[in-house]
């Protein structure tokens, strides 16, 4: 009925908002069947009522208001769009003038049909009847109260009028006060998580694809041939350092330029080849080429990518500013992404593209162009794999203000320009020094300073144009430099932005582009490794945005192996020419390279800087401030203090202890030590309070009324229960044993988890206690669940033995009973068949004149069959033969009334195939049955 109403309401365009209409439309599709069937009945009922209805409606005109609550329209929004807050709408309608037709007619119809006054609150509403042609649809159904949506009134008035509804407002609702509070449902959350996971898997696959393309010998050779001779030997040093890579990076950056979209039809491999040829390509391709080059130079190199996945949390739509159509912003995860990706990419007027066309303005004007990665994956993948720039824009466009956009455009412009600037500097002088010494001041900050200068530079490119390009770090390389640190180090090499060893800046750069640095994955040897820790210092910020780590680790585990082998093998191969002992040594050292990195990343994880805001400590993995302790938590020991946040001392998370009641500890096989003072005493309220009072009195424990004493684990010791003595099981006050776990069993007893043990124990006169294993809620009550019994260990075997015997007996009995029942049911079946046949003969086949004779005949036959069955029952043979199919196929001869069939053994035939035996009487009557 709800659906039907929605469908109708949609027809009448009672709602203004597009999303609401859309919603109703969706609903109407599903409900159209209902409606069609309803029309027949409704039409008849309502035609007769139309006249009455009109009268009533006219009477009520001007005196009736409308109850306006059509929240149901949105509650089942299948598009996942936010419901338009019905409460809000109601408030907004207060004091408005509503001129309407059909909706009021609905109210009135309800009056007619149900004689129930509609809820009238809005006095003085103006009702005008223009058309009630659809009233036949409106009759005879359950009415629901509806409200009028008030958004975007102006643009929709026309539509409303066309559809027969006019809504006028004295005052337009203040759009700034519109609030749409809608929380994601569990289903939406689940969906978002699944999408997130699938997206991750797709991007992992993508990364592996790119990685393997980087190993192509042809591409590597071509790159080497392009490389100037003086750069060729640069990296051929025993202890490679990041500094040594800088000239290479500079050359690469100046040689290859990043442009927008690539040909989506090509495979990545061929796209890479053409990028190599044309020396321009997407940032992904350029980064991949750099990886190929480094690998060609025999450097251990990974392709690193930020996996820019769809959000783990459902994106709840924000309320839209007035005049902005929600449909334009897309609705779901896919919609929004698709829209945002497609729009700038294919627009011939796209400034980015036009800029890309003018790429030969080498230098500043070339300002690295939007790198529309080629999209060759599934829709979801390509959506997620969308370029960071689009990502930025997408995320900005909805909630961001104009000013923000402008600022970011400028910033982006500056970033790209500065990146080029750096390159030039490098080529002329030693930029490496500049970069390494400027690690304290982020290069991105410096770029920001230059923003204004760049945006007003002589290139004539507006900031808006520049906004399409960001130096968003999405792809880069990691080169293993044995000359860095003591043990060697993976060095960040971003040829797209011409940055070497700038790992500490990636986070800031990503943040500047509104790019979430949630997953940074390094690819090598067809494997992958999560190296997010290297680039992310504020882990607490991204932790909640990452998928369940158990799942993620499991996914990565096999890939990590591959990656580890690959990054070790490269060095291994290099050493192959050397002598055997050296080779082993190298193999050992490379084998630990991966674990060394693991340690490094783990160290980073454990030495995360203290957050500066208090909120961050709420769920921080490492740190806690006291205010975020919940009522069952305490700091023990209370220290050391690691620092302060807004005056609050920061403690290690490891100091947080969970407190429990005595009973809870008992369940875990622990008991509170004697004379321990509760670590915390909580006040209880309400019902629990009273019960706790009683308990406390009973046990003579805590003096407090309405409180509960909590203890920490350090105040407990292993549970000591009175042992079983003389075969007697120690029981609790209820005469049972609570078996929460094995630890709760009194020493010397055993829990036998078998059904029907109580009678056995009773029969053997062995002391036992029912074992309560938990509670279940039924009928609104907590009911104890019992499973088996607890007995002294020495009786275990005796009980089990007797139990086995008892069970055997029981099963035999059960079998016997079921056989008897089967027999009885067969008898019933046969008897009913006979009765049926008799009735059939008597009343269906036979003409009235013949009926007497037929009856006699059939009766006779039936009796015989029945009797034969009865007779057989008496013979032992019967028990071996259980007929499944019994049918009489005797000729329709009239027999003497007192004839008794005799089935001689020699007249029997057996069909071996179907195990069917046929017994025949000399009179011609035969019985066929199947032997089991």
Partner DNA sequence: TTGATATAGTAGCCTTTGGTGTTG
Partner DNA sequence: ACAACACCTTTGGCTACTATATCA
- A 10 A CB-CB count for 457 gives 17
Nearer residue to DNA within complex by CB, 639 or 759: 759
Which residue, 605, 477, 606, 622, is CA-closest to 534? Answer: 605
The DSSP element (H or E) to which 660 belongs, if any, is: none
Q: Near DNA by CB under 7 A, which window of 278-286, 476-484, 682-690, 832-840?
A: 682-690
Return the ∠ at Cα 308 (arms to 307 and 310), rounded to 5°.
120
Q: Which two tokens stand for residue 31?
A: 């409900």
- A 10 A CB-CB count for 210 gives 23
Nearer residue to DNA within complex by CB, 755 or 924: 755
Nearer residue to DNA within complex by CB, 42 or 192: 192
Side-by-side strand order, sheet with 623-625 = 623-625, 648-652, 643-645
Number of residues lying near DNA (CB under 7 A)? 47
644 near DNA, judged by CB under 7 A: no
| H-state helical runs in 720-850 | 758-763, 796-840
91 near DNA, judged by CB under 7 A: no
Q: Which two tokens stand for residue 197?
A: 């996971």
At residue 545, φ and ψ (nearest 5 deg) are: -95, 0
Helix, strand, or coil (residue 910): strand
The secondary structure of 680-734, three-state, reads EEEECCHHHHHHHHHHHHHHCCCCCCCEEEEECHHHEEECCCCCCECCECCCCCC
686 near DNA, judged by CB under 7 A: yes
318 near DNA, judged by CB under 7 A: yes
Helix, strand, or coil (residue 462): coil
Question: CA-to-CA distance for 144 and 842, rounded, in angstroms?
Answer: 59
- A 10 A CB-CB count for 264 gives 13
CB of 692 to DNA, least distance (A): 8
CB of 147 to DNA, least distance (A): 17
701 near DNA, judged by CB under 7 A: no
CB of 359 to DNA, least distance (A): 32
Nearer residue to DNA within complex by CB, 615 or 909: 615
The residues with which 354 forms a beta bridge, in sequence order, are none
Which residue, 155, 170, 15, 154, is CA-closest to 83? Answer: 15
Q: Near DNA by CB under 7 A, which window of 148-156, 175-183, 568-576, 919-927?
A: 175-183
Q: Near DNA by CB under 7 A, which window of 114-122, 128-136, 659-667, 899-907?
A: 659-667
Nearer residue to DNA within complex by CB, 40 or 776: 776
| H-state helical runs in 214-301 | 217-226, 229-232, 242-255, 268-278, 283-296
CB of 731 to DNA, least distance (A): 11
Q: Near DNA by CB under 7 A, which window of 243-251, 571-579, 615-623, 920-928?
A: 615-623
Which of 40, 687, 699, 874 is close enough to bind DNA by CB under 7 A? 687
End-to-end Cα spacing for the chain: 55
646 near DNA, judged by CB under 7 A: yes
C-alpha pair distances (Å), 71 with each of 6, 9, 326, 705 = 11, 12, 18, 47
Q: Classify each residue of 684-719 as buried b or exposed e, where b means 16 or more C-beta atoms within 10 Å of its C-beta.
A: beeeeeeebeeebeeeeeeebebbbbbbbeebbeeb
404 near DNA, judged by CB under 7 A: yes
Q: Near DNA by CB under 7 A, which window of 162-170, 387-395, 770-778, 900-908?
A: 770-778
CB-side exposure of 870: number of CA atoms within 13 Å? 9
CB of 193 to DNA, least distance (A): 12
Which of 39, 131, 619, 908 is close enough to bind DNA by CB under 7 A? 619
> CA torsion sign, 802 to 807 to 810 to 816?
negative
181 near DNA, judged by CB under 7 A: yes
Which residue, 228, 230, 277, is CA-closest to 256? Answer: 277
Which of 270, 578, 584, 688 is close enough to bind DNA by CB under 7 A? 688
612 near DNA, judged by CB under 7 A: yes
- The beta strands (E) that lie in 466-525 are given as 475-481, 489-494, 499-500, 520-524
CB of 646 to DNA, least distance (A): 5
- The answer to whether the beta carbons of residues 62 and 41 sit under 8 Å apart is no
- A 10 A CB-CB count for 404 gives 12
Nearer residue to DNA within complex by CB, 187 or 805: 187
At residue 218, φ and ψ (nearest 5 deg) are: -65, -45
Which of 41, 613, 741, 875 is close enough to bind DNA by CB under 7 A? 613
Which residue, 103, 117, 104, 106, is CA-closest to 142? Answer: 106
698 near DNA, judged by CB under 7 A: no
691 near DNA, judged by CB under 7 A: yes
CB of 111 to DNA, least distance (A): 32
CB of 333 to DNA, least distance (A): 14
C-alpha pair distances (Å), 96 with each of 123, 125, 368 = 10, 8, 55
Nearer residue to DNA within complex by CB, 268 or 444: 444
Q: Which of residues 502-561 bind DNA (CB under 7 A)?
A: 544
Per-residue binding letters, 338-377, with DNA (x by CB under 7 A): ----------------------------------------
661 near DNA, judged by CB under 7 A: yes
402 near DNA, judged by CB under 7 A: no
CB of 728 to DNA, least distance (A): 20
Nearer residue to DNA within complex by CB, 29 or 87: 87
Preceding omega of 640 cis (within 30 degrees of 0): yes
Farthest-apart Cα atoms in the chain, separation: 128
820 near DNA, judged by CB under 7 A: no
Which of 99, 201, 226, 316 is close enough to bind DNA by CB under 7 A? 316
Per-residue binding letters, 730-769, with DNA (x by CB under 7 A): --x-x-x-x--------------------x----------
Nearer residue to DNA within complex by CB, 180 or 378: 180
Per-residue binding letters, 898-927, with DNA (x by CB under 7 A): ------------------------------
- The answer to whether the beta carbons of residues 739 and 745 sit under 8 Å apart is yes
220 near DNA, judged by CB under 7 A: no
671 near DNA, judged by CB under 7 A: no
CB of 546 to DNA, least distance (A): 12
CB of 474 to DNA, least distance (A): 21
615 near DNA, judged by CB under 7 A: yes
817 near DNA, judged by CB under 7 A: no
Q: Near DNA by CB under 7 A, which window of 43-51, 135-143, 778-786, 865-873?
A: 778-786
183 near DNA, judged by CB under 7 A: yes
Binding site for DNA (CB under 7 A): 179, 181, 183-186, 313, 316, 318, 401, 404, 407, 544, 612-615, 618-619, 630-632, 645-646, 661, 663-664, 685-688, 691, 732, 734, 736, 738, 759, 772, 775, 777-784
């Amino acid at each position: 009925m709800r659906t039907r109403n929605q469908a109708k309401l949609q027809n009448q365009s009672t709602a203004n908002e597009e999303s609401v209409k859309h919603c109703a439309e969706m609903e109407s599709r599903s409900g159209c069947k209902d409606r069609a069937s309803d029309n027949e009945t409704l039409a008849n009922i309502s035609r007769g009522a139309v006249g009455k209805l009109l009268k009533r409606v006219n009477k009520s005109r001007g005196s009736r208001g409308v109850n306006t609550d059509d929240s149901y329209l949105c509650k089942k929004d299948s598009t996942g769009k936010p419901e338009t807050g019905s409460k809000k709408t109601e408030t907004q309608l207060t004091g408005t003038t509503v001129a309407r037709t059909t909706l009021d007619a609905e109210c009135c119809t309800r009056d007619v049909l149900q004689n129930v006054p509609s809820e009238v609150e809005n006095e003085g509403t103006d009702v005008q009847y223009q058309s009630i042609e659809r009233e036949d649809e409106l009759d005879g159904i359950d009415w629901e109260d509806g409200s009028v949506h008030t958004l975007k009134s102006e643009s929709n008035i026309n539509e409303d009028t066309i559809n027969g509804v006019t809504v006028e407002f004295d005052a337009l609702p203040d759009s700034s006060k519109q609030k749409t509070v809608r929380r994601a449902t569990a289903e939406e959350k689940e969906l978002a998580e699944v999408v997130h996971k699938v997206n991750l898997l797709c991007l992992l696959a993508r990364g592996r694809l790119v990685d393997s393309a980087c190993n192509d010998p042809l591409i590597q050779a071509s790159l080497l041939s392009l490389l100037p001779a003086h750069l060729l030997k640069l990296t051929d040093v025993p202890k490679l350092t990041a500094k040594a890579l800088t000239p290479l990076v500079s050359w690469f950056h100046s040689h290859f330029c990043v442009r927008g979209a690539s040909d989506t039809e090509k495979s990545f491999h061929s796209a890479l080849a053409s990028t190599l040829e044309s020396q321009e390509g997407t940032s992904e391709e350029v980064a991949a080429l750099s990886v190929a080059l480094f690998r060609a130079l025999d450097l251990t190199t990974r392709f690193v990518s930020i996996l820019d996945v769809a959000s783990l949390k459902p994106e709840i739509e924000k309320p839209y500013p007035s005049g902005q159509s929600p449909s334009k912003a897309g609705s779901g995860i896919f919609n929004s992404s698709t829209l945002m990706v497609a729009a700038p990419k294919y627009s011939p007027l796209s400034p980015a593209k036009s800029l890309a066309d003018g790429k030969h303005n080498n230098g500043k004007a070339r300002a690295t162009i939007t790198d529309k990665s080629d999209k060759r994956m599934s829709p979801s993948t390509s959506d997620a794999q969308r370029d960071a720039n689009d990502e930025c824009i997408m995320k900005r466009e909805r909630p961001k203000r104009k000013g923000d956009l402008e600022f970011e455009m400028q910033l982006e412009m500056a970033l790209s320009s500065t990146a080029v600037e750096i390159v030039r500097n490098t080529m002329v002088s030693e930029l490496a020094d500049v970069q390494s010494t400027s690690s304290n001041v982020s290069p991105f900050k410096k770029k920001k300073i230059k923003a204004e200068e760049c945006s007003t530079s002589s290139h004539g490119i507006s900031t808006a144009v520049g906004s399409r390009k960001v130096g968003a770090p999405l792809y880069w390389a990691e080169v293993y430099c044995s000359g860095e640190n003591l043990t060697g180090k993976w060095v960040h090499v971003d040829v797209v932005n011409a940055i070497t060893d700038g790992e500490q800046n990636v986070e800031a750069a990503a943040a500047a582009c509104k790019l979430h640095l949630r997953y940074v994955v390094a690819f090598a040897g067809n494997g992958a490794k999560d190296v997010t820790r290297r680039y992310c210092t504020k882990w607490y910020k991204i932790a909640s945005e990452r998928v369940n780590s158990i799942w993620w680790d499991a996914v990565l585990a096999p890939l990590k192996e591959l990656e580890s082998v690959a990054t070790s093998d490269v060095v291994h191969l290099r050493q192959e020419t050397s002598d055997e002992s050296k080779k082993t040594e190298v193999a050992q050292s490379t084998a630990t390279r991966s674990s060394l990195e693991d340690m490094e990343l783990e160290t980073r994880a454990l030495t995360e800087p203290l957050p500066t805001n208090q909120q961050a400590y709420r769920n921080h993995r490492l740190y806690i401030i006291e205010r975020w302790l919940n009522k069952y938590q305490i700091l023990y020991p209370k220290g050391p203090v690691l620092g302060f946040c807004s005056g609050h001392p920061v403690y290690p998370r490891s100091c947080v202890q969970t407190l429990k009641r005595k009973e809870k500890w008992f369940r875990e096989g622990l008991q509170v030590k004697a004379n321990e003072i509760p670590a915390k005493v909580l006040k209880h309220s309400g019902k629990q309070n009273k019960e706790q009072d009683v308990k406390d009195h009973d046990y003579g424990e805590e003096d407090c009324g309405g409180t509960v004493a909590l203890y920490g684990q350090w105040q407990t010791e292993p549970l000591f229960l009175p042992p079983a003595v003389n075969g007697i099981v120690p029981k609790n006050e209820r005469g049972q044993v609570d078996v929460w776990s094995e630890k709760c069993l009194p020493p010397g007893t055993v829990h036998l988890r078998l059904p029907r043990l109580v009678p056995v124990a009773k029969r053997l006169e062995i002391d036992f206690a029912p074992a309560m294993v938990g509670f279940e809620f039924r009928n609104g009550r907590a009911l104890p669940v019992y499973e088996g019994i607890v007995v002294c260990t020495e009786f275990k075997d005796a009980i089990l033995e007797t139990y086995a015997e008892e069970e055997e007996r029981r099963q035999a009995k059960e079998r016997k009973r079921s056989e008897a029942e089967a027999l009885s049911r067969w008898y019933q079946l046969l008897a009913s068949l006979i009765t049926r046949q008799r009735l059939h003969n008597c009343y269906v086949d036979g003409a009235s004149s013949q009926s007497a004779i037929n009856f006699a005949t059939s009766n006779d036959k039936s009796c015989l069959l029945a009797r034969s069955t009865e007779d057989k029952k008496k013979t032992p043979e019967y028990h071996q033969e259980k007929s499944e199919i019994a049918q009489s196929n005797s000729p329709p001869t009239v027999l003497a009334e007192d004839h008794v069939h005799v089935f001689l053994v020699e007249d029997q035939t057996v069909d071996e195939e179907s195990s069917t035996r046929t017994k025949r009487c000399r009179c011609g009557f035969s019985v066929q049955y199947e032997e089991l």
